[in-house]
Amino acid sequence: MNTATAASLVPLLPFAAAALILLTGRRAPGFVRPLAVLPTLTAAGFAVYVAYEQGGEEPVRAATTLADPGSPAPTIELALHLDGFAVLVAVLVAVVASCVQLYSTGYLRGDTRYPSYAALVSLFTAAMLLVVYTDDLIVLLVGWEVMGICSYFLVGHYWETAAARAASLKAFLVTKLGDVPFLVGIIALAAEVDSFRISTIVSRLTSSLADVQLDHPTLIALLLLAGVAGKSAQVPLHTWLPDAMAGPTPVSALIHAATMVAAGVYVVARLLPVFTASAAALVVLALMAAATMLLSALAALVQDDVKRVLAYSTIGQLGFMAGALAVADREAAVFHLLTHGAFKALLFLAAGVLIHTAGTGSLAAMSRLRNLKQRAPDAFWTMTIGLLALAAIPPFSGFFSKEAVIAAAEHAALDDAAAGGHGAAAVPVAAGWIVLVAGLATALLTAAYAARLWLVAFHDPVGARTETVPLASAHTATSPVMTAVLWVLAIPSLLLGLAYGPLPDWLDGGSLDPTLATAATATGAALLGGAVTWIAWRRAYESDGLVDPAPALLGRLRPHAEAGFHLDAAYAAAFVRPTQAAARLVRFLDRAVIDTYVRATAAAPGWLGTLTRRAQTGNVQTYLSVLVAGSLVLGLAAVLVAAGE
28-84 pLDDT, tens digit each:
888 899 999 999 999 999 999 999 988 777 888 888 888 887 777 788 999 999 988
Enumerate residues 6+ apart whose C-beta is below 8 A from 34: none
- Cross-strand pairs, 446: none
Among 204-213, 235-244, 499-508, which is the least confidently predicted range? 499-508
The CA–CA distances, whole Å, from 352 to 225, 311, 345, 483, 545 equal 33, 13, 11, 10, 29
Whether the pLDDT of residue 467 is over 70: the answer is no
Q: How much is the pLDDT for 274? A: 92
Q: How much is the pLDDT for 463? A: 53
pLDDT tens digits for range 549-580: 888 888 888 888 888 888 888 888 888 889 88
DSSP state of 594: I
Whether the pLDDT of residue 279 is over 80: the answer is yes
Whether the pLDDT of residue 2 is over 90: the answer is no
Q: How much is the pLDDT for 641? A: 83
Q: How much is the pLDDT for 416? A: 54
Report helix, strand or coil for 82.
strand
Average pLDDT, the chain: 86
pLDDT interval class at 267 (50, 70, 90): very high
- Cross-strand pairs, 65: 77
- Mean local confidence (pLDDT), 532-542: 84
Q: Is 587 exposed, middle or buried (0-12, 13-18, 19+ CB in 10 A)?
A: exposed
Q: Taking the CB of residue 609, how many other CB atoms lie within 10 A of it?
A: 10
The CA–CA distances, whole Å, from 78 to 63, 90, 155, 246 equal 6, 17, 30, 36
Report helix, strand or coil for 78.
strand
Distance CA 192, CA 507 (A): 27
Report helix, strand or coil for 64.
strand
Query: With b meaning 16 or more CB within 10 Å and e meaning fewer, what string describes 28-55?
Result: eeeebbebbbebbbbbbbbbbbbbebbe
Among 189-193, 208-212, 340-344, 531-535, which is the least confidently predicted range? 208-212
Whether the pLDDT of residue 626 is over 50: the answer is yes
User: Is the preceding peptide bond at 377 cis, omega within 30 degrees of 0?
Assistant: no
pLDDT tens digits for range 154-180: 999 988 888 899 999 999 999 999 999
pLDDT interval class at 371 (50, 70, 90): low
Element (H, E) at 334: helix 330-358
Q: How much is the pLDDT for 112? A: 87
pLDDT interval class at 546 (50, 70, 90): low
The dihedrals phi and psi of 260, each to the nearest 5 degrees, come to 55, -85
Q: How much is the pLDDT for 356? A: 80
Among 112-126, 142-156, 291-305, 418-432, which is the least confidently predicted range? 418-432
Whether the pLDDT of residue 472 is over 60: the answer is no
Report helix, strand or coil for 134.
strand
**Between residues 355 and 47, which one has the greater pLDDT?**
47
- Dihedral, CA atoms, 637, 638, 642, 645, nearest 10 degrees? 60
Q: Which of 469, 485, 247 is nearest to 359 (CA)?
A: 469
Q: Please provide the size of the chain in residues.
A: 645
Instruction: Tell me the pairing of strands 76-82 and 60-67.
Output: antiparallel
The dihedrals phi and psi of 438, each to the nearest 5 degrees, come to -65, -35
Distance CA 163, CA 23 (A): 29
The CA–CA distances, whole Å, from 620 to 112, 616, 624 equal 81, 10, 6
pLDDT interval class at 508 (50, 70, 90): low
- Mean local confidence (pLDDT), 335-339: 92
Q: How much is the pLDDT for 420? A: 43
Whether the pLDDT of residue 423 is over 50: the answer is no
Q: Which of 462, 288, 490, 502 is nearest to 396 (CA)?
A: 490
**573 contacts 245 by C-beta, under 8 angstroms:** no
Q: How much is the pLDDT for 422? A: 41
Q: Which of 269, 226, 215 is nearest to 421 (CA)?
A: 269
Enumerate residues 6+ apart whose C-beta is below 8 A from 450: 313, 387, 388, 390, 391, 530
Query: With b meaning 16 or more CB within 10 Å and e meaning fewer, what string describes 312-351?
Result: bbbbbbbbbbbbbbbbbbbbbbbbbbbbbbbbbbbbbbbb
**Can you say whether residue 233 is alpha, beta or left, with left for phi > 0 and alpha for psi between -120 and 50 degrees?**
left
Enumerate residues 6+ apart whose C-beta is below 8 A from 630: none
- Mean local confidence (pLDDT), 300-312: 91
Q: How much is the pLDDT for 424? A: 43
Whether the pLDDT of residue 128 is over 90: the answer is yes
Whether the pLDDT of residue 464 is over 70: the answer is no
pLDDT interval class at 364 (50, 70, 90): low
Q: How much is the pLDDT for 362? A: 52
- Mean local confidence (pLDDT), 516-541: 87
pTM for the complete prediction? Answer: 0.87
Whether the pLDDT of residue 263 is over 80: the answer is yes
Whether the pLDDT of residue 146 is over 90: the answer is yes
Query: With b meaning 16 or more CB within 10 Å and e meaning fewer, what string describes 553-572?
Result: bbeeebeebbebbebbeebe
The sign one gets for the Cα dihedral 553, 557, 558, 562 is negative
